[in-house]
Amino acid sequence: DGGITQSPKYLFRKEGQNVTLSCEQNLNHDAMYWYRQDPGQGLRLIYYSQIVNDFQKGDIAEGYSVSREKKESFPLTVTSAQKNPTAFYLCASTLLGERSEKLFFGSGTQLSVL
Amino acid sequence: ILNVEQSPQSLHVQEGDSTNFTCSFPSSNFYALHWYRWETAKSPEALFVMTLNGDEKKKGRISATLNTKEGYSYLYIKGSQPEDSATYLCAFYGGGTSYGKLTFGQGTILTVHP
């Protein structure tokens, strides 16, 4: 079955450590997105990519980095510069990144700080 | 950052009640309005994508309307069932500097009591 796989489901970060969240899709979608959810807030866009080897900052990109070396993969690194990383992270994709296309989501990663 | 507001923040209804929620968004540079349902321990799933003023969509007991001139959308659930309990998210796809990304509201948490 086609879908989006995020791993790990739970992740713990120590102070000063960089951690990477994995997102893989086998839907042959061009566009991929990373969102962050905090309690009581909507999903906020961190980074998005509409084509391999290209990506754009979203609304809250500071302290995060991404890469898009393969169409099916869009890993997110939470760097030590992100001072409040505890949140639920969702990866999503759409076929071409156009307005009428619904997002397909992964099951998310809960990141906590030790 | 665009302002997308949902109301109410949470709602408790009895099984069989009909209910509705509101999503407010900018009335300029409108491209599309999305509705998603997010059940606990699952991934968000798309309900509707609407692109034209006056659009009305229906899926079973759930329907949605769109007014782009005044910047709001309503989601209606007729005869609520316990399985309708979820967080309902709307998301605005705009043009200009926001082109290419969805901005989400904070969601409405619906609880349907048997």
Q: A93, exposed or middle or buried, with CB in 10 Å at 0-12, 13-18, 19+?
A: buried
- Report the residue from B6, B44, B100 with minimal CB separation from A97: B100
Nearest to A74 by CA among A41, A101, A104: A104
Give per-residue pLDDT as tens, B56-114. Answer: 999 999 999 999 999 999 999 999 999 999 999 999 998 776 666 789 999 999 999 99
Q: What is the pLDDT of residue B59?
A: 95
List Cα–Cα distances, B106 to A34, A72, A80, B3, B59, in angstroms. 16, 29, 27, 10, 23
Interface check for B40 against chain A (CB to CB < 8 A): the answer is no
List Cα–Cα distances, B47 to A31, B4, B12, B63, in angstroms. 20, 18, 21, 9
Q: Please name the residues between 35 and 94 in chain A that touch chain B, using a CB distance below 8 Å.
A: 35, 40-45, 48, 50, 56, 58-59, 90
Q: Do B43 and A106 touch (CB under 8 A)?
A: yes
Chain B interface disruption, residue of A34, A41, A56, A99, most B CBs within 10 A: A99
Q: How many CB pairs under 8 A join A and B?
A: 58
Q: B13, exposed or middle or buried, with CB in 10 Å at 0-12, 13-18, 19+?
A: middle
Encode chain A (114 residues) as per-residue pLDDT tens digits: 679 999 999 999 888 899 999 999 999 999 999 999 998 888 999 999 999 999 999 999 999 999 999 999 999 999 998 989 999 999 999 998 788 889 999 999 999 988
Rounded Cα gap, residues B57 and B66, in angstroms: 9
Q: What is the pLDDT of residue B97?
A: 66
